[in-house]
Amino acid sequence: MLRAIFVLVFAGVFAASAFAQTQKARSREELMQQVLHAALDNIHTLRCGSDRCSPATAEERKNPLLSLSETSQIFGRGLFSGGADICQLEWGKRNYEPMMAYWRKQNKTERQLALIGLIHQIAMQQIQKQIGSNCPAEMKKDVESKLDFKPKS
């Protein structure tokens, strides 16, 4: 859990600049490619286990560490966490920590886990920037109903 919190805090510093790169996407697939590449651009700022992650390689940029489908799943969970944060709901224990536990069970490397945390943070910041700090009752009800992480079957 401490590692997860550290990744979130550290990733937050760089997620805002990564978010700026994602705003020009024309499709979900293009957006996920941009998010994944923005996260790779900043992976060197994160911890991979007990060491700092090395910068993304040319091979990782050509064949990213996560698929676009995985990126989309993570990004979607980050949107719910961001909405939950706006609505003052507990998103860490209900969404982020179970999501990270799921990805660990999928045998993701420390490097992939760092990338997952950053993609989640990028999504959180995107929704927070778009919505602001106002939490309408309808949004809170929607987020509340979808916040608990459930792995896809």
Determine phi and psi for 79, rounding to 5 degrees.
Answer: -65, -40
* Domain extent at residue 16: 2-146
Q: Which tokens in the block code for residue 120?
A: 């989640």
69-88, pLDDT tens digit by residue? 999 999 999 999 999 999 99
Tens digits of residue pLDDT in 97-108: 999 999 999 999
Residue-wise pLDDT tens digits, 28-41: 899 999 999 999 99
Three-state SS string across 90-135, please? CCHHHHHHHHHHHHHHCCCCHHHHHHHHHHHHHHHHHHHHHHCCCC
Report if residue 152 sits inside a domain: no
* Residues forming beta bridges with residue 48, ordered by sequence position: 51
H or E segment and range at residue 48: strand 47-48
Q: Is residue 151 part of a domain?
A: no
Task: State in Å, rounded, how far the first CA of the chain is from the last one.
Answer: 25
In a domain, residue 85? The reply is yes
77 lies in some domain: yes
User: How many domains are there within the chain?
Assistant: 1
DSSP type of residue 63: S
- Is residue 153 a part of any domain in this protein? no
pLDDT of 8 strictly over 50: no
| Alpha carbon 114 to chain centroid, angstroms | 9
pTM for the model = 0.83
**117 in Cβ contact with 14 (< 8 Å):** no
